[in-house]
Amino acid sequence: MSNIQLMVFEDLEVPSHKTKNIVNYVNQLENAKKLLLVDGDPINEKLKLATQNIHYVNVLPSIGLNVYSILLHDTLVMSRDAVNRIVERMHTPINR
């Protein structure tokens, strides 16, 4: 079983919708072959556009994060907003 690298950033803002920004970023990461970017809700439009044509990068809103998606990637990059939303959801009791 391989290790999953987790990185948390203040935000996942990208300077433009250009794919090259994401490609350059991924190339700087060590051993990142399949990236999952998790942001708050909704996903930043520039981030969506910048990643849509890159087959090794996927983007999810925090509400869509699931174990299966995490296991399909070797690198998980989250915004602080996404982490906060997930923690909040985990502390919210399920009313039945």
> pTM of the predicted model, to two decimals?
0.88
Sheet architecture: strand order including 5-9:
5-9, 75-79, 35-39, 57-61
Q: Report the percentage of the chain scoring pLDDT > 90.
A: 64
- pLDDT of 1 reads 55
Query: At residue 51, does pLDDT exceed 90?
Result: yes
Q: If you average pLDDT over residues 10-26, what whole number do you get?
A: 89
The fold adopted by the segment(s) 5-91 is Ribosomal Protein L4; Chain: A; (3.40.1370)
Please check whether residue 6 is in contact with residue 29, taking contact to mean a CB–CB distance below 8 angstroms. no
Confidence bin at 62 (pLDDT 50/70/90): very high
